[in-house]
Amino acid sequence: MHDAIKKALEVLKGGGVILYPTDTIWGIGCDATNVEAVKRIYSIKKREDSKSMLVLMENPALLDRYVDEVPEVAWDLVEIATTPLTVIYPGAKNLAKNLIAEDGSIGIRFTKEEFTSKLLQRLRRPLVSTSANISGEKSPAFFDEISEEIKNAVDYIVEYRQDDRTPATPSSIIKLGPGGQIDIIRK
């Protein structure tokens, strides 16, 4: 795993795009602060850049760097989550502009998965995470379901957990609004 993290870091720091395992599914990712790298992911997925993507982080203490004001309820939600949880926060900042939704929000998930946690600790920036498929096509549940088109379009395919057949659980999605308002997008 150490070599895979080292290679993924090189690619990410060079503005590249990786295909990697997450706590939910295999994802396409890049440095979430790099506008050009984010643009490449939209291109790979054949997706309009008005459809925002989420980012992975490993440490909730860094949230203040990327969100203007973290509602108090967010800390409770992150702390009690036992399964993957994506929280959409208002007031995104310090991220690639083409990653932030039109309403200024950003979806963030804190990963507990070993590979992405270690990668994020060393990258020290959020990592884009979007399903490894062309927009509109079925999301692959396992590595061997990822299309050759996607595999050929990325700069590095992480050589870790490629044989893992553990069924993935998509994250729950909660959107936080003004005054601590909570909207459940996906249970």
Q: Quick: pLDDT tens for 44-74.
A: 999 877 677 999 999 999 999 999 988 888 9
Q: How confident is the model at residue 40 (pLDDT cuts 50, 70, 90)?
A: very high
Q: How confident is the model at residue 11 (pLDDT cuts 50, 70, 90)?
A: very high
Which tops the pLDDT comparison, 13 or 82? Answer: 13
Q: Phi-psi bin for 101: left (phi > 0), alpha (psi -120 to 50), beta?
A: beta
Looking at residue 43, its amino acid is S
Which tops the pLDDT comparison, 97 or 177? Answer: 97
What mean pLDDT comes out for the span 74-97?
A: 92
How far is 10 from 117, CA to CA, in rounded Å?
16
Tell me the whole-structure pTM to 2 decimals.
0.93
Q: At what angle do helices 2-13 and 114-123 cross, to 10 degrees?
A: 40
Predicted local distance difference test score (pLDDT) of residue 181: 86
Report the number of secondary-structure helices (H) and strands (E) in the chain: 6, 9
What mean pLDDT comes out for the span 155-165?
A: 93
How far is 82 from 61, CA to CA, in rounded Å?
18
Predicted local distance difference test score (pLDDT) of residue 50: 67
pLDDT at 18 over 90: yes
- How many CB atoms lie under 10 A from the CB of residue 165? 9
Cβ–Cβ under 8 Å, residues 68 and 93: yes
Predicted local distance difference test score (pLDDT) of residue 86: 95
How far is 4 from 70, CA to CA, in rounded Å?
33
Q: What is the mean pLDDT of the chain?
A: 92
What mean pLDDT comes out for the span 159-167?
A: 88
Cβ–Cβ under 8 Å, residues 181 and 171: no
